[in-house]
Structure 1
């Protein structure tokens, strides 16, 4: 019993010492990371965060073919609606939105970029779907879009359905910087 109590006391004491040491190491690492990394994308173009937050407010709104309002959205109607709120006019066609802004490599994707996909057929070569990138963590790209099977929702590019249909990324957020 004494040995077990001694082991618990030593373990707790060691944990307290570690807890006191870790924050200073963490702060040093954070300081280094902050000074060596470039300014976040949100800080470069603050309205990107506003567009994404606005898009999130519409989660679960139903899909509606040709829809451009909160009564129902199709994919391009949704991205158009979100950007229009902040003064950026996008065409109401995913294929046409694929010609707006600048083409960006997938590895350079950032929140606020449009992400483009083939339509229902993965064998085609035409853009048929669009979403708005909300988060990029490492090589994981999360986007919000209006999908025929679920309305406005989140998905990840890493899902096999979207990987097979991925067409590209377009940067339109720089148009917000001029607003």
Structure 2
């Protein structure tokens, strides 16, 4: 009787464990689904991100707008211009293009804006292009004075302290 009871308990326990480990939609897969839906609506967003990635490691150059070197706004301007969208050549001016979007609604293709070198004040001084959003992790590509065109993450303390906002400009791409 004890052996039978033990077998029943083990079987039930195993069934409960199996039920708890059934694959569910995780935050990462939700983000991937959302990202896929976003790209389906505006497929050129994926193309602009791929184009931006081709320029990884190009050096930083103050005022730079070409592959000889980019500053931050020169880089985003260069990428969007390749797809027929004209952005101003200043991160502060790019902060007025498109529509403001909440951080938790960020999507690939959005511009991400930061304060300049100092974390004080309220002036936009840096811009990047969001390449990936998984859960609350926002990855972006930008031209930084200390590394040129590279990836960074919004959750890094340096960028958290300087975060100013997100601007959705993908509709400008969709019109092209």
TM-score in same-fold range (> 0.5): yes
2:131 aligned with 1:134: yes
What are the Cα deviations for residues 40-65 of structure 1, in whole angstroms up to 9, with x where unaligned?
Answer: 11111000000000000000000000
Partners of 1:54 and 1:131 in 2: CA distance = 14
Corresponding residue for 1:156? 153
What are the Cα deviations for residues 106-153 of structure 1, in whole angstroms up to 9, with x where unaligned?
Answer: 000000000000000101110000000000000000000000000000
SS at structure 2 position matched to 1:40: helix
SS at structure 1 position matched to 2:78: helix
Partners of 2:109 and 2:46 in 1: CA distance = 8
What are the Cα deviations for residues 68-120 of structure 1, in whole angstroms up to 9, with x where unaligned?
Answer: 00000000000000000001000000000000000000000000000000000
- List alignment gaps of at least 5 residues for structure 1: 1-24
Aligned with 2:173 (options 155, 158, 176): 176
Corresponding residue for 2:45? 48
Equivalenced residues, count: 151
Q: Which runs of 4+ in 1 moved over 2 A?
A: none
SS at structure 1 position matched to 2:173: helix
Corresponding residue for 2:88? 91
Aligned with 1:107 (options 91, 104, 107): 104
SS at structure 1 position matched to 2:60: coil
TM-score normalised by L of structure 2: 0.81
Q: Please, what is the CA RMSD of the aligned residues?
A: 2.0
Corresponding residue for 1:18? none
2:176 aligned with 1:167: no
- List alignment gaps of at least 5 residues for structure 2: 1-21
Partners of 1:94 and 1:151 in 2: CA distance = 16
